[in-house]
Amino acid sequence: MMAKEYKRKVYLQDKPRLEAKQQMFTHFNSKREIEWVDSSDSLGRVLAKPVFANSSMPHYHASAMDGVAVIAEETFSAHEHRPIQLKKDLEFAYVDTGNEVPSPFDAVIMIEQVNEISEDIIEIIEPAVPWQHIRPIGEDIVQEEMLFPQGHIIRPVDIGALLASRTVRIPVVKKPVVTIIPTGNELVSPTDTISTGQLIEFNGTVFANYIHEWGGEPQLHPIVKDEPSSIKTTLLEAAKHADIVVINAGSSAGSKDYTVHIIAELGEVFTHGVATRPGKPVIIGKIEDTIIIGVPGYPVSAYLALEWFVRPLICEVLQVSEPVRQKLQVKLGRRIVGTMGAEDFIRMNIGYVNGEYIANPLPRAAGVTMSLVRADGMLVIPPTSLGYEQGEYAEIELYKPLEAIKESIVFIGSHDLTIDLLSSQMKAVNRNTSIMSSHVGSLAGIMAIKKGEAHVAGIHLLDPETHEYNESYIERFLADKEVVLYPFLKRKQGWLLPKGNPLDIQNVEDIVEKQAHFVNRQKGAGTRILFDMLLREAGLSTEEIIGYGREMFSHLSVAAEVKGNQHAVGLGIYPAAKAMGLDFIPVADEHYDLLMTRAFFESQQGKDLINVIQSEAFFEKVAGIGGYLLEKNPNPIYLGMRE
């Protein structure tokens, strides 16, 4: 209870995001400065003032054709049967495209329609209409006309209009300087050597790239130690020179989170904590007329906070609209719980299966950068909502082009390293196709096919009764669905062990005997089913296994965990051991097959997938990993019945 009160004291309040933004703007004194640049070098810049044409284009009556300039009135009687002749200089003049049409000529006849009798005499057989084939002064641009209003963002074609009208220098908004201050004793630069307990500082670089993309001028400050005096000096200096200051980490309420106190001391704090998950520990304040924004250290929180609070300020200085993401109505594949009183920002995968967009949440932890990297879209749950039920429809903001989502093959199921290679190879053959894979285990893959949420599932489910793979499970769960089981590959499962096998583990009994820490897989994973069978066959119970209750979601995660702990052992595939430099003792050769709906298998995308699987290039790539036996032209197994 005491602790919670302390927390309340530190977070001034969890302010609604839009309220915090609005309040920030009441304090923001946008210093919009003008800078003159060469028009030819102005791509993407924003006009600070309206721009008027310096000159007309064309700036004289120009011939639009190669031909002769004539006085139209004098040609009116020309006819196929009564050609008329014209004398050079007096009655006509030769002109090329772009040449001036000299006075008093007022029409141009194309050279192809002129019969040249001698050097000075031509014959024409058709009258010219006044002003035909002439580009009059200002046809394109009239001197003094407004070419662009202020706030216009210069595109390549605009540079053409500027140069054509001899408007060679233009006033643009000076890019607002955003100083980025990374803080933290544990931070090291990505190129430094790193030890345990140290974190790579990468947020600053990411911020700089976002700010650059939004039209700001990022200035990345070197890492500052978690010392109030250093932070104070740096903030004061930055506030003097920057238009906006972003300070990273130290925005929370921990013992070393000095930032909020320092800003309050040097200036003013308007907001400490916004009502969002993730992203809550944001500070918004002001020092010496410069807005200071403290963003959390966790990457997802940090990047969202940057978009919520820094991007609008940059757009305000540039006087452009904030970009708006495309929206899409999707069906939710799972129940998604919201936080009462706070907005939830859930990163989502979206698959297009059977004509429906189906979205599933990615990991919600604010530290998982990959959840933002992998996001196809963002579901925002308002503070008044408790979330959504499975199967409900919701509107989400797209993070990828709809086309890319529409053309993805949705792969849900067991993890195997070859699936990424397959995705890569599919893209190499047809760059518009990709495989969007979620690693949820074999059983969940079968369920995704059953619910119509996936095109393909990777499965390796051992039937403990028959010691056969996959088919019996499909018959059990998908009896009413017409599916195809495509024999994909055989792979070695075995014990993943720290280099040198320090505990000398040879079998499942050793794990119990030597009190090894077992790194388990999630429920429904084929590897877990295999382990459970080994336990049962050895007459052991799960309670005897240290670590049984904790679940990893991929072979590589298990291997990474084993690598970090001399007492650990895991069960997984050979390539994972190889990738992490672990010892490996084979336990079983298992069948990892691809389950698909028959409709997908017979579709063009399905055929393309099979072609890529059977391609030499893919076989070579898989051979490069080692430990796999790909099936050459296997017979697909048709299961289930027509729906």
Binding to its own copies (CB under 8 A) within 11-40 occurs at: 39-40
Cα distance between residue 617 and residue 614, in whole Å? 9
Cα distance between residue 33 and residue 176, in whole Å? 9
| Smallest separation, CB 496 to its own copies (Å) | 13
| Smallest separation, CB 168 to its own copies (Å) | 5
Nearest to 241 by CA among 285, 278, 290: 290
| Smallest separation, CB 337 to its own copies (Å) | 18
Using CB under 8 A as the binding rule, the residues of this chain from 440 to 499 that contact its own copies are none
- Look up residue 73 and give its two tokens: 């009135």
**171 counts as binding its own copies under rule CB under 8 A:** no
- Look up residue 445 and give its two tokens: 């893959």
Using CB under 8 A as the binding rule, the residues of this chain from 268 to 307 that contact its own copies are 297, 299, 303
Q: What SS3 state is found at 587?
A: strand
Between 259 and 470, CB nearer to its own copies:
259
What are the phi and psi torsion angles at 603 (to 5°)? -75, 170
From the number of C-beta atoms within 10 Å of its C-beta (0-12, 13-18, 19+), residue 1 rates as exposed
Q: Which residues contact 232 (CB under 8 A, 6 or more apart)?
A: 262, 265, 266
Beta bridge partners of 106: none
Using CB under 8 A as the binding rule, the residues of this chain from 370 to 399 that contact its own copies are 370, 372-373
In the chain, how long is the greatest CA-to-CA distance? 115
Q: Which of 434, 501, 603, 615 binds its own copies (CB under 8 A)?
A: 434
- Look up residue 156 and give its two tokens: 């390549």
Using CB under 8 A as the binding rule, the residues of this chain from 311 to 340 that contact its own copies are 319-321, 324
H or E, element range at 260: helix 259-266
| Smallest separation, CB 267 to its own copies (Å) | 26
| Smallest separation, CB 68 to its own copies (Å) | 12
| Smallest separation, CB 491 to its own copies (Å) | 16
Stretch that binds its own copies, among 16-24, 266-274, 472-480, 554-562 (CB under 8 A): 554-562
Between 248 and 470, CB nearer to its own copies:
248
| Smallest separation, CB 249 to its own copies (Å) | 9
Between 50 and 464, CB nearer to its own copies:
50
**203 counts as binding its own copies under rule CB under 8 A:** yes
Stretch that binds its own copies, among 2-10, 234-242, 268-276, 285-293 (CB under 8 A): 2-10
Using CB under 8 A as the binding rule, the residues of this chain from 585 to 624 that contact its own copies are none
Q: Which of 7, 241, 476, 536 binds its own copies (CB under 8 A)?
A: 7
Please, how many CA atoms are within 13 Å of residue 557, restricted to the half-sphere of its CB? Answer: 13
Using CB under 8 A as the binding rule, the residues of this chain from 95 to 154 that contact its own copies are 96-100, 103, 110-113, 130-131, 135-147, 149-151
Q: Which of 160, 228, 464, 626 binds its own copies (CB under 8 A)?
A: 160
Three-state SS letters, 404-438: HHHCEEEEEECCCHHHHHHHHHHHHHCCCCEEEEE
User: What is the sign of the dihedral through the CA atoms of 486, 490, 494 and 496?
Assistant: negative
Nearest to 523 by CA among 417, 420, 414: 414
**365 counts as binding its own copies under rule CB under 8 A:** yes
Cα distance between residue 603 and residue 609, in whole Å? 10
Stretch that binds its own copies, among 237-245, 494-502, 575-583, 593-601 (CB under 8 A): 575-583
Determine contact, residues 399/376, Cβ cutoff 8 Å: yes
**228 counts as binding its own copies under rule CB under 8 A:** no
Using CB under 8 A as the binding rule, the residues of this chain from 175 to 194 that contact its own copies are 184, 186, 190-191, 194
**261 counts as binding its own copies under rule CB under 8 A:** no
Between 163 and 533, CB nearer to its own copies:
163
Which amino acid is located at 599 in the chain?
A
Q: Which residues contact 10 (CB under 8 A, 6 or more apart)?
A: 253, 260, 272
Q: Which of 30, 219, 339, 369 binds its own copies (CB under 8 A)?
A: 369
